[in-house]
Structure 1
Amino acid sequence: MIRRDFLRYSALAVATAAALPLTRVSAAATGGRTWYIDATAGSDSHAGTSEAQAFRSLDRLNKVTFGPGDRILFKRGGDYPGAFLPKGSGSAGAPVTVDAYGQGALPHLHADGQSPSTLRLQNIEYWTVRNLEISNQGPQPAAKRTGVHLFHQDYGVAHGITLQGLHVRDVNGLPVKQAGGGSGILVEAKGKNKPTRYDGLLIADNVLENTQRDGILFLAAGDRTGGLAKGVAVRGNRLTGVPGDGILVRGCDGAVMEHNTISKCGPLPRGEAAAGIWPFDCDNTTVQYNEVSDHKAYADGQGFDSDFRCRNTLIQYNYSHDNVGGMALVCNDGRSGGDIGNTGTIVRYNVSINDALRKTDSASLRISGPVNGSQIYNNIIIIPDKPLAGAEVTVFKATKWKGVPSDIAIHDNIVVSPQSPGIDMQLATATRLGENRMFATAGGAAKAQGAQPASAQDHAMLDRFRTTRPTLAQVNTLVKACFADGKPVPNAMQLIGQLAAG
């Protein structure tokens, strides 16, 4: 289902991009110039300012310094080898815009491993880049290779950058993070001599395929000394074949990560940890309406994560399925969390189906290290028979990481399993366990708090979930129907059964 949905989305994205009337908007409206590049009929001896006088190569385009309102149009169907390394900034209300013109496939820019990135926006602002195909497949994998790189160093505040409708594919970085990794889209702000951060960064409606190691990776969008990034949104992206971290934001305040789909993740080499969508060193992050599936990282491997140095992360209305590590991780490294730690994470109104597939040391939701004040409530966790015989069935689990969780509230969740699910919060302190509705087959011992026997019909319903996966829209409808005033409704099992029946 995920693959079919991805292909439909890709076709829709290309068709929508082809229909955009952007190439006929007068540059005079914003006071800028329009530059054309045509890989077939263009020439680097041309002026580049009309379709008939289009440039041919990226090398020629890189010699131009662009300004407010400029538009750079690539001829569709064209093949553009090399790296696009533009100069010059737009302004508020008059960004520099990169787009496609003509008919046919997206313009294809490819560095072929000859440059660390195919498109690099360095120390420039107010840029909108859309409707390009970008790859960077070298003869051999290489560290830190990426497709698109936003790099700002000692710049100050970089405003108004948009990446939209791109198809980023086939970037062969390294699978090991400590060896340098690699990514599809890389965001990096560094401020040794001048504090540097982003303000108004949108990464939306892009398709990423087969990028190694990570998908959309923020090494830092800002920091707590010079200021966290503001106005960051990662929205509506579709990732497949990304084995590591799908979408990771770092150094942001108020970032929104929503309506993204990630599938076919992994595997990674032994010792490598990764997750689907997560913030690191961020405040007030909202993670919502995303779908993550098939994560197979050697360690972690959850759909979602609120990591250390994060405050007030909200993870809601997401759909997690078939991830080896579980639905979600909330964690903090006691050695390096500092005065921030991990505080105030809320995980609510999410649906998990067939997650936590390891035989041992696995849980639908794991809380690790000195995490404080998390709230876990109003989630639906559906656990069919485990694929490995004798695998443990644990829903909520606390583990050490140079410290233990404290003041965790877990209540009003719905858990359905063929055997009695366990709650292992023994290592945590001051845990508050409210009423959780847990259903197990009649043969299971009621070990978990509030566990209730389920019927043979319920067991058959779980069997259907092993092979059938609902859509994100269906699970969001379910989760909203299953809770009234924050409490599970009496007919929740019937509603879940209806979802399984299609």
Structure 2
Amino acid sequence: MININTLTGFNFYACTLALLTAVLFCADVNGQKKTSRAANYYVDSKKGDDNFNGRSSKKPWKSLEKVNKTSFAPGDSVLFSRGGVWQGQLVPASSGGAGKSIVFASYGKGEKPLIQANGNTRDAVLIRNQSYIVVRDLALTNKDEKVKEQKTGPTGVRVFSEDFGTISNINLAGLYIHDVNGDNKKGSKEGNGIFWECAGPKQSNIENLVIEDCLLELVDRNGIRGNGTFGIRTNWFPNKNLVIRNCELRDIGGDGIVIKAFDGALVEHNKLFYNRMRAKDNAVGIWPHSSDNTVIQYNEVAFTQNNDWSNDGQSFDIDGNCKNTVIQYNYSHDNDGGFMLVISDAINKDNIVTQNNVIRYNLSVNDGLKRKRLFNFAGVTDSTSVTGNIFYNDTQQEMAIELADIEVGIPKNVVFNDNSFVFAGNTTGVFLKSPKQYKPVMFSGNQLTGNIAGKDNLVNLVDKVETGASRNAQFPQVSSFPWKFLPEKCRTENSGFPQTIYSEMTGK
């Protein structure tokens, strides 16, 4: 369990143990030792025949129906031919075992095996009430060409624990999920690239879910998201141990990655470009909801849209009913709605106050230009520490960006400590809220450089360090910041640092 203290940071020993546990879990799933009883089954959409035994690549099966009707033994592998195309749905019929997952993967050369649901089934892959399952190196689509938006909640992959209790040890790796045309409005009709959910009446959840090395693009509405019947505090039976790493998401209709109803999630080394491309309601790059002990680190989030002056559009959000969230070592740039949202749901018996939030050592460049804000606090949240971040803006457009937008309730115990706010262009950073609203916000030891106005509204402004209002303010010294996720060139060069990061990280 990750123990977080918002004023002093979190317990690194506990965090290391948690991460090590996640690594060991992945090694167990991917590095399984097969016994002599394990078998390989081959499936070829062009040369296969369901009357074959499927035990060799020379006599492969042909159809998904044959695969779905077969109960495989722990340790078995089902291999689809590269270059093959299947219409329909993959539904594993049996579970693997500890160290002997059932693997659905590929063989041969060429493009990844493609499963096209075409809107005829809700999911291209459905893992329902099964454990110890690996699905990797497949391509998945779910586009109904007859409609603009499917109203059925279509997905690429759905992991579903339904009236079952606990399912566990699911690994989704190396998947290419694209062209899912679900509804872009929040609700049961919205589409997802990867989706997990739990339903009753029996309390049911998912443990040890790993999503890694996946590419998702042109998905409406959400990239990677979950839902949880048992994520409310009066019926609290959360999922446990989620890892999302090394994934890339592009051109997502609404939300990028949503950690829903999990206790213990690690989201790291992901790249998200162009979120909220078509949704008109709230959407953010990466955010937890109804989740405890979440770590979000070493991610790049960019170009989240907010063209209609509506809510959200930030790179990150710590949302309602959450506690003990750490957002650290991330690179955020060019997100229309800003860098960060911190919000609580309506406080009642089902929802706790969003609390114990740590936001530290992140780099934000030119965030918030459309919505004209950097941070947004909404509702009554408690204990948020914002430490050691750099917020840089060199936009030449003459406009004002609210640095700490407070609305719909006043947060408690917010500390901005040892951050650098640098406005080096013609844009001005402003503190426009009333002293009453800023009263619970402590600003301590921050460097405020360039065009920053309204500091007199800050009630608790101590140990301030200002270097003037020069329009030629340079990017601050970064050698002391532990951004190991950046290329070495970016960590050693200060001249043109934001541009260097941008070119190195995006290849542009």
Residue correspondences, number? 446
2:347 corresponds to 1:342: no
Q: Hey, what's the Cα distance between the residues in 2 that align with 1:172 and 1:324? A: 24
- The 8 Å contact of residues 366 and 398 in structure 1, kept in 2 or not, is answered as yes
1:473 aligns with 486
Match of 2:410 in 1: 404
CA RMSD of aligned residues (A): 2.7
**1:381 matched residue in structure 2:** 391
Shift of 1:190: 1.6
Alignment counterpart, residue 198 of structure 1, candidates 202, 206, 209: 206
Any gaps of 5 or more consecutive residues in structure 2? 1-30, 477-482, 502-508
Deviation of the 1:131 alpha carbon: 0.5
CA distance in 1, matches of 2:230, 2:134: 20
Distance in 2 between residues matched to 1:180 and 1:386, nearest whole Å? 41
Cα offset for 1:256? 0.4
Question: Which residue does the alignment assign to 2:125?
Answer: 119
Distance (whole Å) between structure 1 residues aligned to residue 368 and residue 450 of structure 2: 17
Report the Cα offset of residue 107 of structure 1: 0.5
User: Within 1, Cα distance between the matches of 2:403 and 2:104?
Assistant: 48
Looking at structure 2, the residues matched to 379 and 94 of structure 1 have their Cα atoms a distance apart, in angstroms, of: 44
Question: How does 1:269-280 map onto structure 2 within 5 Å?
Answer: 269-270=279-280, 272-280=281-289
Q: Give 1:53-68 correspondences, 5 Å limit.
A: 53-68=59-74
2:369 aligned residue: 357
Matched, 1:84 2:80: no
Q: Which amino acid aligns with 2:51?
A: S
Question: Which residue in 2 is equivalent to 1:393?
Answer: 401
Distance 1:416 1:136 in 2: 44
1:145 aligns with 2:151: no
- The answer to whether the 8 A contact 1:72-1:99 is kept is yes
Question: Does 2:44 correspond to 1:38?
Answer: yes
Please say if 1:295 is aligned against 2:304: yes
Over 3 Å counting, the alpha-carbon distance change for 1:337 and 1:314 in structure 2 is farther
Which of 222, 232, 256 is matched with 1:214 structurally? 222
- The one-letter code sitting in structure 1 at the alignment partner of 2:322 is C
Tell me which stretches of 4 or more aligned residues in structure 1 moved more than 6 Å: none
- Deviates further, 27-36 or 95-104: 27-36
User: What SS does the aligned partner of 1:61 have?
Assistant: helix
**8 Å Cα contact 2:82/2:106 also seen in 1:** yes
1:392-428 CA-to-partner distances (Å, cap 9, x unmatched) read 222122211xx32111111211011135522356425
Q: Which residue of 2 aligns with 1:19?
A: none
Report the counterpart of residue 175 of structure 1 in structure 2.
Answer: 184
**Structure 1 residue aligned with 2:54:** 48
Label 1:104 to 1:420 Cα distance change in 2 as closer, same or farther (>3 A): closer
Once the two structures are superposed, the pairs formed by residues 239-278 of structure 1 within 5 Å of their partners are 239-270=249-280, 272-278=281-287
**Aligned partner of residue 340 in structure 2, secondary structure:** strand
> Is the alpha carbon distance of 1:28 and 1:238 closer, same or farther for their aligned partners in structure 2, counting shifts above 3 Å?
closer
TM-score scaled to structure 1, two decimals? 0.83
> Contact (CA 8 Å) 1:351, 1:475: kept in 2 or not?
no
What is the 5 A alignment of 1:67-106? 67-106=73-112
Contact 1:302-1:327 within 8 A present in 2 as well: yes
Q: Does the 8 Å CA contact 1:30/1:68 hold for their aligned counterparts?
A: no
- Note the C-alpha offset of 1:201: 0.7
The code of the aligned residue for 1:168 comes to I
Q: Which amino acid aligns with 2:370?
A: R
Q: Contact 1:278–1:307 (CA<8 Å) still a contact in 2?
A: yes
Work out whether residues 67 and 96 of structure 1, in 8 Å CA contact, stay in contact via their aligned partners in 2. Answer: yes
What is the rounded CA distance, in whole Å, between the counterparts of 1:371 and 1:246 in structure 2?
23
Residue 22 of structure 1 is matched in structure 2 by: none
Q: Deviations over 1:375-402 (max 9, x none)?
A: 1111100122265x5x3222122211xx
Distance 2:36 2:239 in 1: 27
